[in-house]
Amino acid sequence: MKNNKRKIKISIISIILIFIFGIAIYEATTYNKTYYISEKNIEIPIFLYHDIVEEKEQIVYDYMQTDKETFEKQIKGLLKLNYRVISYEELIKYKNGEIALPKRVCLIDFDDGYEGNYKVAYEIIKKYNIPVNIYIVNNCIGTTGYMNWEQLEQLDKSGLVTINTHSSNHNNFNTLNKNEAVQDVVNAHKQIEQKLGHTQIKVFTYPCGLYKEEIIDGLEKEEFIQNLTDNKINKSKTLDLSRLHRCYSLDDGIFKILLKVKYRSIRYN
């Protein structure tokens, strides 16, 4: 009887080890393989940050600030695990079937336009040569704690940072009517183009993640890609550029981040 139990345990352990080994081999042999949108349903998380500060002791709002060391560990961890950070231009081409992407991709966003994006985060962005996106509150630019237009122009010229709008005044878009909201975003986007001196991809992020369906429809007609902030994960088969999902990274370690991605991917499927 004891021998039978021992054999069963050994068999179960062997099956588990073979399964894990098989997954490891599959991951090792396919991490560089690319897929068109019609070929594989991949997860495409958009990781959201706000302000990046030098030291943990400087954090006042833990839901809005990440320290430099943690931010770098997160980026380094993603790259070590073979994640490729892509731009919204690449996402559009992928959606249109023009390019293929590997199964591990993500985007990096920063909201509001805090000065820490320029003074702290930019150093890491350059170090790891990753594309990122910053959404500014237009009327805050040049005020205390926020970047100025000269800094934004320098970021834009780097070729790594795309500047877009987070609205003129960080309004709650669920309280605006359709015309007010659309006009605000269109005007804010035009101001960015004028200040930077070139046309810019149209991407808008809703302040506080608040929106109305009629506003989404109105901005879609103006050809804006639109970001919600709902901690959900984008997937190829349901990829909607007018309703993109974003999730917070905060101070989580890389494996906790990826566990949350998998959990949210399953929960909100």
Residue ranges of the domains in the chain? 31-267
| Span 65-94, pLDDT tens digits | 999 999 999 999 999 999 999 999 999 999
Distance, CA of 201 to CA of 226 (rounded, Å): 12
Full-model pTM: 0.89
The one-letter amino acid code at 250 reads: L
At 29 the pLDDT is: 54
Residue 164's pLDDT band, with cuts at 50, 70 and 90, is very high
Per-residue pLDDT tens digits for 242-255: 999 999 999 999 99
AA identity, residue 227: N
What is the residue type of 129? N
Does residue 16 register a pLDDT over 80?
no
pLDDT tens per residue, range 106-119: 999 999 999 999 99
Architecture of domain 31-267: Alpha-Beta Barrel (3.20)
Structure tokens at 105: 């991709």
End-to-end CA distance of the chain: 45
